[in-house]
Amino acid sequence: MGDYNKHVRVMNKSCSCDKMSGKKVLNSSSKRNEMFIGNLLNQINEKLDNEEYQRALALCDNGIQKVEAFTETNMELTKKVNSLTELYNCAGVAHEKLGNTDMAKRSYEKEYKIAKDHNLTDSILRSCQSLGSLLAEKGELKEAFEYLEQKVRLCVDPLDECQSRIYIARVYFEKDRTKESMCHLRAALNLARRECDSELKCKCELMMGEFLMKDGNLSDSRTFFNQAIKTASDRGVLSELATRARVKELTDNVDGFSASEFDSNLPIDINVLGMDDDDKDLTTSQRNKEPIPIDDDDSFMPPSVADSSEASSKGSGGFAAKYDPRNRADSENGNFWQLREEDALKKNQFKRPTPK
């Protein structure tokens, strides 16, 4: 690091000036600085992935000091502010993992302010998610929901909006805000159906069944659980088994649901399920690339759910927000089918088909 600092000081002195305009011109130090920050961010992410949070934090602090000291001759403004938002986000993650929630909040707020000042949509969405999640856990619900609702409003990509609504619906429900929860979940389900995304559709249906069951509406809850199983069965056997297992887990020991109500009659041996030879070397997700035909109306929804909200969903756009796998929202919205299918494989004790 010492050699690098010395190098930067020397290069800063050598920046040139346009004789006609008098404006400073970027020199080779700008490229070197960009490479340095890029390598530093890679190191930080590696430390975070390896749970070396103190080391990651030290690298973040060092990087922030460096970038803040850069002038426009050392680094283009756009790249400078993007680097700062990345560094503050990583610092917030490290603080949060270390249990320093106040410091984490401060880092996320700095990321949010820089992003707002420079209209950086990716970073605004990311910081809203981080702040909303952190504040909800701290019990600061009013501010938490302001950030989470802001993220939903700013989403342009419909699938990103769907995942954001799923997350905020879960938070609202856990905080006994059933009306707001169902509003967002219904909007998320409509988005998933409209985009023919069977994974998100099944996830929404499972959550709808769960929320209605916990709210005492067993009839409508059963409707959504069965709909989720149907959605999963259209994707493949493993998806159906995984979804049935999840429904049984949710309804276990709940009065009004029988222990065998959601049992599967499917054979355990996957090789007798009628797959063509050409399909036996494919995974479930690969076998089910065709979108599921779904009518874009509320005809299958129980009245209590179909009339619960006037929430509308936005059209498709060109921007899709990035998700950070270290954030709670992303683990909640992670590879849903893979986790459920692996669980189904373990419980049913059969092997996934292997390539020939």
Q: Which domains does the chain have, with CATH numbers?
A: 27-154 (1.25.40.10), 198-356 (no CATH)
DSSP 297: S
Tell how far CA 299 is from the center of its chain: 29
Q: What pLDDT score was predicted for residue 201?
A: 96
Neighbour-count burial for 190-207, b at 16+ CB within 10 Å, e otherwise: bbbbbbebbbbbbbbbbb
Quote the tokens at residue 276. Answer: 């063509």
What pLDDT shows up at residue 264?
76
Instruction: Please choose, from the candidates 349, 162, 352, 337, the residue with its C-alpha nearest in 3D space to the C-alpha of residue 243.
Output: 337
Q: For residue 267, what pLDDT band results from cuts at 50, 70 and 90?
A: low
Question: Strand, helix or coil at 25?
Answer: strand
Tell me how far apart the alpha carbons of residues 272 and 104 are, in angstroms, rounded to a whole number.
53
pLDDT of residue 345: 47
3-state DSSP assignment of residue 24: strand
Question: Residue 104 is encoded by which pair of tokens?
Answer: 């984490």
**Residues 332 and 170: beta-carbon distance below 8 Å:** yes
What's the alpha-carbon Rg for the chain, to the nearest Å? 25
* Cβ-proximal residues to 238 (8 Å cutoff; 6+ apart), any chain: 284, 337, 341, 344, 345, 352
pLDDT surpassing 70 at residue 170? yes
How many Å apart are CA 49 and CA 73, to the nearest integer?
Answer: 33
Q: What is the pLDDT of residues 198-242, one digit of tens each?
A: 999 999 999 999 999 999 999 999 999 999 999 999 988 888 999
What confidence score (pLDDT) does residue 76 get?
A: 87
From residue 297, how far is each of 104, 186, 190, 204 by CA, in Å?
43, 12, 8, 15
pLDDT digits (tens, 9 = 90+) for 277-303: 333 333 333 333 333 333 334 444 554
Question: Which range is least confidently modeled, 30-34, 48-52, 338-342?
Answer: 338-342
DSSP state of 279: G
| DSSP 8-class letter at 293 | P
Q: Which residues contact 255 (CB under 8 A, 6 or more apart)?
A: none
Q: Over pLDDT 70: what percentage of the chain? A: 66
Look at residue 301 in the predicted model and tell me its pLDDT: 52
Between CA 108 and CA 102 the distance in angstroms is: 10
Binned at pLDDT 50, 70 and 90, residue 151 comes out as very high
Whether the pLDDT of residue 180 is over 50: the answer is yes
Higher pLDDT, 13 or 129: 129
For residue 67 the two structure tokens come to 């970038």
Query: Helices marked H in 98-140 — which ranges?
Result: 101-117, 121-138
Angle between helices 158-174 and 198-214 (to 10 degrees): 20
Q: Give the range among 2-6, 65-69, 344-348 with minimum mean pLDDT.
A: 2-6
Average pLDDT over residues 129-155: 94
* pLDDT at residue 314, as a whole number: 35
Q: DSSP letter at 16?
A: E
> Phi/psi of residue 182, each to 5°?
-70, -30
The pLDDT, as a whole number, for residue 7 is: 36
Rounded to an integer, the average pLDDT of 322-341 is: 44
pLDDT at 148: 94
Residue 344 in this model has a pLDDT that exceeds 70: no
The CA-based angle 39-44-49, given to 5 degrees, is: 125
Could you tell me which residues are beta bridge partners of residue 17? 24
35 vs 12 pLDDT, higher one:
35
Q: Which of 19-28, 31-40, 277-286, 298-307 has the lowest mean pLDDT?
A: 277-286
Residue appearing with tokens 């949060």: 96
Q: Which residue shows structure tokens 């069951």?
A: 213
Q: pLDDT: is 229 or 344 the higher one?
A: 229
Which of 118-132, 265-279, 301-315 is modeled with the greatest confidence? 118-132
Per the listing, tokens 């949010």 go with 112
pLDDT at 94: 96
Distances (CA, A) of 75 to 189, 249, 285: 44, 54, 44
Residue 323 reports pLDDT greater than 80: no
Give the number of other Cβ atoms within 10 Å of residue 58's Cβ.
Answer: 14
Tens-place pLDDT, residues 68-118? 998 877 788 889 999 999 999 999 999 999 999 999 999 999 999 999 999
pLDDT value at position 182? 95
**Given 3-state DSSP classes, what are the helix, strand and coil percentages for the chain, each rounded to the nearest 5?**
65, 0, 30
Q: Give the whole-angstrom CA distance, residue 249 versus residue 243.
A: 10
What average pLDDT does the structure give for the chain?
Answer: 76
pLDDT beyond 70 at 57: yes
